[in-house]
């Protein structure tokens, strides 16, 4: 897969399962890579997780499916499919925990030049059977020239 350097703006929102308001929001701007392989779009970047450490992310989106991989601090593997509940894993200092996610939205838009685009992933997440809320992940990228 051929990749290109890009600036990636990553906005993560977690909405409380019992309320409509946003419980937690973070915005991160990082240098990373963007690539395409087959019908999938990939974003690869590293970011610091507050109070935990550095993590390496790979986000793959294609059609109604996505995969979120995080290595380093708090490793996670969460496959996603619109309209289905899919199992994943989340590693903490206390051990590996099972996740389940039900994706509502998986969208990607690439501009005509292919030099910028965005990804939106919206899913309900539970860890060890407990709902933690709705995750709204927005990724905006612009290829570095």
The reported pLDDT for the residue numbered 17 is: 65
Task: Please state whether 74 falls in left (phi above 0), alpha (psi between -120 and 50) or beta.
Answer: left
Closest CA to 44 of 32, 52, 54, 55: 32
Q: Which domain holds residue 88?
A: 3-143
Tell me the DSSP string of the chain: --EEEEEEEEEEEEE-TTSSSEEEEEEEEEEEEEEEETTEEEEEEEEEETTTEEEEEEEEEETTEEEEEEEESS-EEEEEEBTSEEEEEEEETTEEEEEEEEEEEEEEEE-TTSSEEEEEEEEEEEETTEEEEEEEEEEEEEE--
CATH number at residue 106: 2.40.128.20
Tell me the per-residue pLDDT of 2-49, one tens digit each, with 9 for 90 and over. 899 999 999 999 887 666 666 788 899 999 999 988 889 999 999 988
User: 76, 98 in Cβ contact below 8 A?
Assistant: no
Instruction: Report how many domains make up the chain.
Output: 1
Global confidence as pTM:
0.91
Query: 97: which 2 tokens?
Result: 């925990």
Measured distance CA(9)–CA(128) in Å, rounded: 30
Cα 101 to Cα 4, 63, 133, distances in angstroms: 30, 17, 10
The reported pLDDT for the residue numbered 116 is: 95
pLDDT confidence tier of residue 64, bands split at 50, 70 and 90: very high
The reported pLDDT for the residue numbered 1 is: 80
The reported pLDDT for the residue numbered 22 is: 60
For the cut 70, the answer to whether the pLDDT of residue 88 exceeds it is yes
Mean pLDDT of the chain: 92
**What 3-state DSSP class applies to 108?**
strand
């Amino acid at each position: 897969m051929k990749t290109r350097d890009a600036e990636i703006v990553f906005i993560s929102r977690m909405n409380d399962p019992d309320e409509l308001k946003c419980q937690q929001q973070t915005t991160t701007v990082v240098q990373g890579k963007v690539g395409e392989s087959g019908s999938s779009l990939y974003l690869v970047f590293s970011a610091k997780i507050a109070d935990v450490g550095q993590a390496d992310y790979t986000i793959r989106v294609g059609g109604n499916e996505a995969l979120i991989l995080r290595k380093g601090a708090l490793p996670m593997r969460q496959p996603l499919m619109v309209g289905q509940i899919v199992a994943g894993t989340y590693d903490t200092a206390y051990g590996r925990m099972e996740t389940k996610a039900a994706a509502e939205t998986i969208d990607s838009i690439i501009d005509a030049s292919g030099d910028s685009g965005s990804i939106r992933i919206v899913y309900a997440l539970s860890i060890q059977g407990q709902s933690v809320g709705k995750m709204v992940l927005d990724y905006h990228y612009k290829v570095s020239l």
